[in-house]
Amino acid sequence: MSTKESKNPFDSYVKNLELCAEKLKLDPGIVKRLKYPRRILIVSCPVKMDNGEIEVFTGYRVQFNEARGPYKGGIRYHPNVNLDEVKALAAWMTIKTAVIDIPYGGAKGGITCNPLKMSPGEIERMTRRYAFMIKDFIGPYIDVPAPDVYTSGREMAWIMDTYSMAVGHKVPEVVTGKPLEIGGSLGRESSTGRGLAICTREACKKLNIDIKNATFAVQGYGNVGIWGAQILASWGAKMIAASDSKGGVYDSKGIDPKKLLEHKEKTDKVQGYPGAKSITNEELLTTKCDILLPCALENQITGENAARISCKIIGEGANGPTTPDADEILYKNNILLLPDVLANSGGVLGSYFEWLQNLQRDTWTEEDFNKKLLDKMVKAFNGVYDMSQKYKVNLRTGAYMIAVKRITDATEKLGLFP
């Protein structure tokens, strides 16, 4: 095990990129272009706080690659948001949109702040200031933001409204993940968790695991983890552990995802759930189960704890929860890891569906939405799995190989100007 494992998420992206480029024998010049973002925006967002004082927040928007279509990526609010993280997330989004094969490039945004210690008014003023600062660089055919960590339809509504006021007319297609009342889509809220559940079920088929007898654990009981858990449970799988930022719970007899959500909504944490034992996040990661779903933040499974992971399938609901060193250990231990660029791509796929409806001023039923999502996710999973089998690599490398080939093909066709 390496003692110098990099925890910089962008280094993880570059390492995976170089690995698949070597396998595919790609043009070094094209690969070099994929190591650099097209544009980096860093903005200062002055905000009048409720106490009358002025606070200045730093906001980012990294537009990584647009060879296959408009930039696409979420906006997160978190104290640990920094440029390297946003660069990595933008790069991963570029890969993700190519893996799922939709006509988007990749971008990401964020503001370094602690929204849990801010009032709704302060968050709104910060959001609108940030939106106004980046308005000239986003748009329906330029860059389409979406929610991410600690943002939701509420923030997307404010961004849409701010942008629309700036251009003089309503533009619902400038963001996705909006409330239904202003152009959001049925099915969008659950799309990331649903895509994760679909990939997990397809993986179970490959390993001859009966989903009705499978056990699973969820690290990060937020939107993705909650929906993923509920959908897996509806197919018969049993959740035995779950956690959030304050700790976790374990019960070998099973935990009802909906009842756990009700408990979390009442108490603001999963710990204290009746009949369940309290555990730490680290203990959850090493819980013996069939399926482990890391749905929290980056760098959760590392070279330091990967050997203790005791499951058959890992589905990355979060972005970048597994480091490259851990990838190697898990692969050697015959653990099938569903990489983030595949497993949580249901979110950007759902955003694409919302964007299409907005552009066409159309509305789909939730049934139609979910059917289209199922078809796309199953096709993407099988493509990645087949690629990994053909080249005898893990699924992450297989996914990167598919994505990078699609991106480089588009880049070569476009040429280099001037």
Residues annotated catalytic, as ranges: 108
* Amino acid at the residue 356: L
| List of residues 6+ apart from 31 with CB closer than 8 A | 17, 18, 21, 404, 408
Contact 238, 212 (CB under 8 A): no
Residues in the chain: 418
Contact 347, 377 (CB under 8 A): no
Nearest alpha-carbon partner for 219 in 294, 136, 126, 127: 294
In whole angstroms, what is the distance from residue 157 CA to residue 144 CA? 13
Alpha-carbon Rg for the chain, nearest whole angstrom, is 21
Residue 232, phi then psi, degrees to nearest 5 = -60, -40
Three-state secondary structure along the chain?
A: CCCCCCCCHHHHHHHHHHHHHHHHCCCHHHHHHCCCCCEEEEEEEEEECCCCCEEEEEEEEEEEECCCCCEEEEEEEECCCCHHHHHHHHHHHHHHHHHCCCCCCEEEEEEECCHHHCCHHHHHHHHHHHHHHHHHHCECCCEEEEECCCCCHHHHHHHHHHHHHHHCCCCHHHCCCCCHHHCCCCCCCCHHHHHHHHHHHHHHHHCCCCHHHCEEEEECCCHHHHHHHHHHHHCCCEEEEEEECCEEEECCCCCCHHHHHHHHHHHCCCCCCCCCEEECHHHHHCCCCCEEEECCCCCCECCCCHHHCCCCEEECCCCCCECHHHHHHHHHCCCEEECHHHHCCHHHHHHHHHHHHHHHCCCCCHHHHHHHHHHHHHHHHHHHHHHHHHHCCCHHHHHHHHHHHHHHHHHHHHCCCC
